[in-house]
Structure 1
Amino acid sequence: MAAAAPSSVVAGLVSGLGLARSSLTPSDGRSPSLSPLHPPWPAAPRLVCRSSGARPPRERAVAAAAAAANSPRQQQQLGEHEHEEAVAAAAMEPERSSPHEVREEIARCFDLVRRLGRGAVYLGSSRIARLLDCTTWSGAGPGFMDAATQGALEAGKPVGGFKIGKEAGEWTTSNFHPYLPSESYLTCRFFSARKHGLVDAAVRNCPTDRTAIIALPGGIGTLDELFEMMALIQLERIGSTLPVPFLLLNYDSYYSKLLDFLNDCEEWGTVAPGEVASLWKVCNGNHEALEYLAQFYNVPLAERNYCISPQLKQQATS
């Protein structure tokens, strides 16, 4: 039996729930009557501004609230509009400070990237830092992030990070890295600021910049960053002028099921054929990743500080 098209399935669901237009509109064209189980939506308070000679809405609302506290007669004299504005003003939330705090934190992230320089962003290997001669960036956390940090330090290359107080799987919260100097990382309160910092670290400003995005095995947070980076590359918010290599490290087939899912998306038509493959390079190991980056940036063979595969040697000498 052939599977029904997704649009028809959704249409059937809507119809079955009694939300189809035909079930709400009587045959004679009259407006449908609502049952007691479906009361009408409550009317929202109106904010009415007079065209001339009127006080600002907030000022009138304050006056209305003060009058209402004095006597019911004064409340009636102010009229219906002022009373509604007083109710609306009382329901308004105070101004939030988080947008300003996020903006300030993003500015600090950008300043850290400016001081340490752009480079390879890990979403871990000293060889990449040495090969590209760049700064290594990560979430400055444990696991693979720490492997990237230690590898870069062993290679004698700069390290930067945007950490959060508590990573998934950790029991305690700490704003401090156990061994990195405080001037090389920033503890972010907001995830949006952390992501802005990692994206800024990966963007190439000139042809001599050698940056990369390396997605290592991880959990929900890694997948979140992985797909956001992919979307930014897809929409040309990253790499529109100078392309940035995006590598998916599929160690021990860790991401194979994810790749199968994305292939299924192509079959369903939600992703264009070849679209995902054009956004990143899937590598099964470090050697494959290093060779891809070396070829991407045309690194001379003499500067490739890793064991070159026999196939590449043959291509270079032929």
Structure 2
Amino acid sequence: MAASLGTHVVLRGTHETRIRATFCAEKNRIIELVSSSQSTRPFKEQSLLASKSSLGWMRGRAQMSSSRKALCRVLSSTLHRALNFYIFKEEIKKCYELINRVGRGVVYLGSSRMGPSHSHYVQAQDLAKEIENLLDCTTWSGGPGLMDAVTEGAMLAGKPVGGFKIGREAGEWTASNFHPYLSSENYLTCRFFPARKHGLVDAVVRNNSFDKTAVVALPCGIDTLDEVFEILALIQLEWIGSKLHVPFLLMNYDSFIQSCLNF
């Protein structure tokens, strides 16, 4: 009796033929399974690799994005520092140019919050007028308050006046170079405190015996006290007045800074 097993025909009556037919059928089945697995496995592997690749690309993109953000922050910070350094350098240069143009003289440091109605305002005005009549030199001030009083006193004496003002003064930000008493040629608004300090220090350094300079500290607050102590430190270290003496006057009106002196 003949029977069909796929593509093979065997005789049931023959044991050897049946074994051979079974072997051939199993062999073909194994070949089909292997072929099927070989044809589908690369697809699965490719899908898996594609998934891993997509996930890795997304992670890489996220990492690249965070890296770019970090790089942008670093570049932004670097450019910001470079820009500030450039502005600071230009301000110092302008301070030196202003001093060379107007001349060295007496630097006044005082409160920016004491207006014309304050008793110290009139005292500072009279003091500046007397010093200018005595020394006949340039007066250096800047800012409102007692600095305006000093400026008025020097102008009443008919003497030249120069000014260094910080952009942020008494809690107010002033973007202009406007001053009610000084011309724009004799006045400079600084953005950075160190630039103003450099200008104030250079204005009192005596290059020769003909330069008449001094530092006058009027009643003031914390910010101005910082400048006062810094100049005192430079005098103590002989960075100022090492060869040519520079007088330092501390005006203790109404015992305003007596506690500081006692300390």
Once residues 55 and 233 of structure 2 are traced to their aligned partners in structure 1, the CA distance between those partners, rounded to angstroms, is: 59
Of 58, 68, 74 in structure 2, the residue corresponding to residue 92 of structure 1 is 74
Aligned to 2:222: 220
Deviation of 1:234 (Å): 1.6
Return the alpha-carbon distance in structure 2 between the equivalents of residues 154 and 118 of structure 1: 19
| Residues 132 and 104 (structure 1), Cα distance of their counterparts in 2 relative to 1, 3 Å cut | same
Alpha carbons of 1:90 and 1:220: their partners in 2 closer, same or farther (altered >3 Å)?
Answer: same
Q: Distance in 2 between matches of 1:87 and 1:135?
A: 52
How far residue 181 of structure 1 moved from its aligned partner, in angstroms, is 1.1
Larger relative contact order, structure 1 or 2 (CA cutoff 8 Å, min sep 6): 2
Aligned residue number for residue 193 of structure 2: 191
Q: Counterpart of 1:207 in structure 2: which amino acid? A: S
Distance 1:91 1:155, change over 3 A: closer
Percent identity over the alignment? 62
Change in Cα spacing, 1:209 to 1:260, as seen in structure 2 (3 Å) is same
Structure 1 equivalent of residue 150 of structure 2: 148
- Alignment CA distance shift 1:90-1:189 (3 Å): closer
Letter in 2 for 1:163: K
The residue type equivalent to 1:228 in the other structure is E
2:49 aligns with: none
More strand as a share of residues? 2
Change (3 A) 1:234 1:175: same
Give the counterpart of 1:206 among 191, 197, 208: 208
Amino acid paired to 2:74: M
Q: Residue 169 of structure 2: SS of its match in structure 1?
A: coil
Higher helix proportion (structure 1 or 2):
2
Counterparts of 2:171 and 2:68, CA distance in 1: 48
Check the 8 A contact 1:119/1:211 in 2, yes or no.
yes
**C-alpha distance in structure 2 between counterparts of 1:197 and 1:191, whole Å:** 10
Unaligned runs of 5+ in 1: 1-69, 77-84, 262-318
2:162 counterpart of 1:160: yes
The equivalent of 2:11 in structure 1 is none
8 Å contact from structure 2 (residues 137, 212) kept in 1: yes
Q: Given the alignment, which residue of 89, 109, 129 partners 1:103?
A: 89
Given the two structures, how large is their TM-score scaled by the length of structure 2?
Answer: 0.63
Q: CA deviation at 1:126?
A: 0.6
**SS of 1:207 mapped into structure 2:** coil
Structure 2 partner of 1:137: 140
What letter corresponds to residue 112 of structure 1 in structure 2? L
SS of the equivalent of 2:106 reads strand
How far is the alpha carbon of 1:166 from its aligned partner?
4.0
User: C-alpha distance in 1, partners of 2:146/2:94?
Assistant: 25
Matching residue within 106, 109, 117 for 1:120 = 106
- Cα distance in 1 for partners of 2:88, 2:172 equals 24
User: What is the rounded CA distance, in whole Å, between the counterparts of 1:180 and 1:234 in structure 2?
Assistant: 33
1:181 equivalent in alignment to 2:163: no
The answer for the alignment partner of 2:254 in structure 1 is: 252
- CA displacement, residues 149-188 of structure 1 (integer Å, 9 cap, x when unaligned): 1111111110000113342165876531013111111111
Structure 2: which 5+ runs fail to align? Answer: 1-53, 61-66, 110-123
The answer (yes or no) to whether the contact 1:166–1:174 under 8 Å persists in 2 is no
CA distance in 1, matches of 2:168, 2:177: 8
SS across alignment from 1:92: helix
Aligned residue for 1:230? 232
